[in-house]
Structure 1
Amino acid sequence: NLLIGKTVTIAIEKGIIKSKSIIVDATHTLSRSNPFSTIEVLRERSKLLRKAVYQFDEAFKSKMPSKNTDNDLTKELKYCKELEKAIENEPSISEIPSVKEKLNLLKELVEDTGEEMIFSKDTDAKTGHKSADSSFFGYKTHLAMSEERIITAAVVTSGEKGEGPELPKLLQMSRDNGMEIDTIIGDSAYSGKENLKIAKNQNIKVVARLNPSITPGFRKDEDRFDYNKDADRFVCPAGHLAIRKARGGTRNAGKNQVDTYYFDVEKCRVCPLKEGCYKDGAKSKTYSVSIKSELHQDQMAFQQSDYYKEKSKHRYKIEAKNSELKNVHGYQRATSYGIENMQMQGAMAIFAVNLKRILKLL
C-alpha cells in the first residue's frame, strides 16, 4: 500500500491522473510449488515406509500386500491400511525407530484423508478456477487502475477467493491513495447486490454487466458462497466449486426462476465446515439463487445509456496491464512461498509498472 500510494501521489501531483474512474479485475499467479494430490502423497509415504523396512529385512517383500495401480483414492487407502497391518503384525520390524516414524506418518495421513486434498510446500496457496473445467494452484491479485493505466490499489488473496467481495477494499484503498472516484468499470463479477448498494450510497456508477447468479439478495455472512464468474459456478466457504447447475421455474410466469448449484456430497461429508451447511446423511448439497424479475431496474436501464457504453470500452486496459505484469515482470509465477511473499512480489512489480507508466506519460 505504501509503494502503490507513493506512485499514485506522484501521478496526481504531476497531473497525470485526470479521470475519476477505476477499472477493476483480478489476475492469477501460479504458486512456486507444484501441488500434490492426496493419492500422490500416500504413494510417496508408503514407498518410504517400504524402503525403511527393506533396509532391515529384505525377505519381508513376500509378506507385503499387492500395490494399488489404479488412480483411485479408496483403493489406495485400502492398500495403505493393509500395509500398516502387515508391518504392525511384526513387532521386530515395526518397533525399529526409523520404521516406526514412517509408519506413524502414513497412519496420520490415512486418518486425516477423507477427501481429495491438495498438499504443497506453499501452504497459503489454494486451487482457483479459470473455467468450470480448468483450474490453477496459487494466488489472485485484485487490482484497481485509473483510465491512465496507473494501478491505484491491490489486494492479494489465495486463488479460490471470489472477485466481487474485494471491490469495497479496492474502492477505499484507491480513495485513501488520493483518487476521486465517480465510476467503477469491471466485469459481471462486480455487479453483486452488495456492491451496487455501496456504490449507490456513495453516488458512484457501476459499469459492470448484471449477472443474475451474483445478485442473490441478503445472505448471512457466514453463509457466504462466492460466485466464480469464469466457471459460472458458486464456490462454498471451504473453497469447493459446484459440480453443476440447473435452472428451475418458468420465465416471465410471475414467479421468480431459481438457479440451483449442486456440490459434491463426498466432499461435504468430511468437510470441517459442514456444521450448519451440510446435514449428515443428506444425498445432495445445493445452493439456490432466486433470479429477481423486478430487481435492478435502474442498473438495467443504465446499461443501455451512452455513458455506460462509452466507459465499458476502457475495460480492455486492465487486461493489457495484467499481461504486462505477467509477461514483462514475471508475475505469472510466485518467486517464494506464502502470501506475505506474494504481497511483496506484487508490491515490487506494481511499483515498477506504475513508475514506467508515469515516466512514459511525462
Structure 2
Amino acid sequence: MSRKVVFKTYNQYQLSLLPPRYDDLVPVNHPVRIVNTIIDHVDISALEKSYKGGGTSSYHPRMLLKVIIYAYLRNLYSSRKIEQALHENIHFMWLSGQSKPDHNTINDFRGKRLQGHLKKIFHQVVLLLVEQGIISLKDIYIDGTKIESNANRYTFVWGKSIKTSKERIKKQLKALWSYVEKVYKDEQHIPNTPDFEAIDAAKVEATINQINNALQGKEIDKKIKQKLNYAKKNWPTNMAKYQNQEAILKERNSYSKTDPDATFMRMKDDHMQNGQLKPAYNIQASTNNQYLTNYTLAQTTADTTTLKDHLNNHIENYNEKPETLTADAGYGSEENYTDLEDKNITAFVKYNYFHKEQQDKKKGKMNPFHPDQLHYNKETDTYFCPMGQTMTNIGSYKKKTTNGFEQELHRYQAQNCKGCPLRTRCHKSKTNRIIERNYNLIRLKSQAKTLLTSEQGVAKRKQRCWDVEAVFGNIKQNMNFKRFMLRGIDKVNIEIGLIAMAHNLKKYSLTI
C-alpha cells in the first residue's frame, strides 16, 4: 500500500502581513555581527575628518569599512564582486543598511581613503582582543611570507642588467677615444682625455660631442662615423633611462615595470613547483595565539634585514615592547641579536646551522676542524689547530653589513701548515690557514643557544610552528589570498591590513 506524499507549502507570491526584517534573517552568532560590533567600537574620527565638505553626500566610511572587511572575511576581494554581493547577499544588505555603493566607490575607499588610517584601526581591534584576554602583546612569534603582486611577471628590470649596459657604454666610449688618440698620434696637439668615471647622461653626451669635435675635419673610418651617430642618438637617452631605473631600484636588485614597488622573489608555492621568480612583497607578521598582532611590508627577499624595522613598528604602535620574541633562523644575525639585547627582549631566535649543530651533537659528528671546535687561550689570545700548532692574532678589521651595521672580526693564522698530514681535511688554502672570529657574534649565539635549548626555548620553538605558520596557511589556503588585487606599496599595505583584520575577526567569531 503506497503512502500519500505530502509537500511543504510553496508559494513564492504569498503576501506577509508584516514584512520580515533583515535583522531577523541574520543568525545571532554569525560572523557578520562580529564585524559589525567590533567596527562599531573603533575610533574612525581621523578617517571621517579626511573627507572634505561640499558637493553631494558621501557613503559613511564606517559602513564601507564594515562591508570591505566582511568581504575579505568571505574571500571576496574584487570590488565588482563586493558590489554584486551588496545587491544579492542578505548579510551584506543588513551590514550596509541597504546602501549600495558601486565598485568604483568601493575601490576608491579601499585604495585611497584608507591610506594612513587602516593600520591604526587594525591596532585598535588588536587592543580590543587584548582587553578580552584572548591574546597578549608580551609574547610574539615572527615570520615572513611572500605574496605575489598584481603585476606582469614578464616585464621586469634587473639591477645587474643596468650595470652591464652602463659598463658597455663606458667601454665603447673608451674604444672611440682610443681611435681619436690613434688619429692624433703623429700630431703634437692631443685633445684632453675625457673623464670616463661615474658617467651619467650629461657626461656621455658631452664626451660624444668632444669626440665628434676632435674628429672634425679628419678622415675617419666609415664604421666609426656610424657608431658615433648611433651613440649620439641613443646613448644619452639610454643613460637617462638607466638613472631613472636605478632611482626606483634603490637597494633592490629588480622591480616590475607594472608595479615598480614589487621585487622579483622566488615563490615556494608556485604551481610549477620550480621556484619561479615573480614580482612579490615580503610580508612580515607577528602573531600570538594564531592572531595577527602586527604586520609590515618589505621589498627585500631575505627576512634578516626586516626584523629591526618590524619590531620598531610594533613598539611605535603599541607604546610598549614585547617581553619575549620567537623567530626562525632567517632572523639570526648579529645586528638582530644586538638590537634585541639593547631592547632587553628575551629572544628565542635561531641562528644558521642551529639544527645541524644539534643533530651533529646527538650523532657525535662534531667537525674538529671547525673554528668553533679549536681550543682558544684567552690569556695569550691564540688558537690551536687540531695538530696543536699555535695560531696567532694577525690583526682585526671592521666591516659594515648592507644595513650599515658595523662588525669587528679578528684574524688568526697558523705558523706552518706545510707537510701537515691533516691539511687537506683542515683547509684548502694555498697558504697557512687563517680563521676569522667575531667575538660579539660568538657571545650572542652562545646566549641564543642557551635560551633555545632550555625547556622554555623548546616549547617556544614548537609553538612557533603552529602559531605564525598556521596564520599564513589560513590566509593562503583557506582564504585563498595568494595574489594582491592592488598595485603600489601603499595600496598593498592597505590590502594586507584588510586580510589581517579579516583573519582575526574570522578566528574570533569561531571562539564565541
TM-score (norm 1): 0.56
**1:128 aligned to which of 236, 260, 265:** 265
Residue 142 of structure 1 corresponds to: 284
Higher RCO, 1 or 2 (CA under 8 Å, sep at least 6)?
Answer: 1
Give the 3-state SS of the residue equivalent to 1:315 in structure 2.
Answer: helix
Aligned residues: 247
Q: Which runs of 4+ in 1 moved over 4 A?
A: 104-119, 130-134, 221-225, 247-250, 289-295
One-letter identity of the residue aligned with 1:139: Y
Distance 2:443 2:132 in 1: 46
Question: 1:286 maps to what in 2?
Answer: none
Alignment of 1:1-362 (within 5 A): 1-18=119-136, 20-35=138-153, 36-37=155-156, 108=237, 112=241, 119-129=256-266, 134-146=276-288, 148-158=289-299, 160-175=300-315, 176-177=317-318, 181-211=322-352, 219-220=399-400, 224=404, 256=435, 296-316=445-465, 317-362=467-512
SS at match of 2:294: strand
Contact 1:187/1:208, CA 8 A, preserved across alignment:
yes
Q: Is the 8 A contact 1:127 1:137 kept in 2?
A: yes
Contact conserved, 2:144 with 2:282, CA < 8 A, in 1? Answer: yes
Could you tell me whether the CA contact under 8 Å between 1:164 and 1:192 is conserved in 2? yes
Cα distance 1:195–1:120, how it changes in 2: closer, same or farther (>3 A)? same
1:128 Cα deviation from its structure 2 partner: 2.4
Larger radius of gyration: 2
Contact kept, 8 Å, 1:143 with 1:155, in 2: the verdict is yes
TM-score (norm 2): 0.41
Q: Distance in 1 between matches of 2:319 and 2:448?
A: 27
Paired AA for residue 345 in structure 1: E
Task: Point out the structure with the larger helix share.
Answer: 2
> What code does the residue aligned with 1:302 have?
L
Whole-angstrom distance in 1 between the partners of 2:481 and 2:399: 35
Could you say if the C-alpha distance between residues 189 and 219 of structure 1 is closer, same or farther in structure 2, counting changes exceeding 3 Å?
A: farther
Q: Which runs of 5+ in 1 are unaligned?
A: 40-81, 90-103, 226-246, 259-288
Q: Tell me the CA shift for residue 212 of structure 1.
A: 7.1
SS of structure 2 residue aligned to 1:296: helix
Per the TM alignment, residue 338 of structure 1 is displaced from its structure 2 partner at its CA by: 0.8
Amino acid aligned to 2:346: K
Stretch moving more, 114-123 or 184-193: 114-123
| Distance of 1:11 and 1:167 partners within structure 2 | 24
Gaps of 5+ in 2: 1-118, 159-222, 247-252, 269-273, 355-396, 406-425
For residue 145 of structure 1, what is the amino acid of its counterpart?
T
**Alpha-carbon distance between aligned partners in 2 of 1:171 and 1:37, rounded to the nearest angstrom:** 31
Q: How far apart, CA to CA, are the structure 1 residues paired with 2:255 and 2:427?
A: 34
Q: Write the distance in 1 (CA, Å) between the matches of 2:342 and 2:239.
A: 52
CA contact (8 A) 1:27 1:141 kept: yes
Quick one: which amino acid aligns to residue 162 of structure 1?
A: A
Q: Measured at CA, do residues 202 and 294 of structure 1 come closer, stay the same or move farther in structure 2, by a change above 3 Å?
A: closer
Change (3 A) 1:138 1:109: farther
SS of the residue 1:141 aligns to: strand
Residues 248, 257 of structure 1: 8 Å contact kept: no
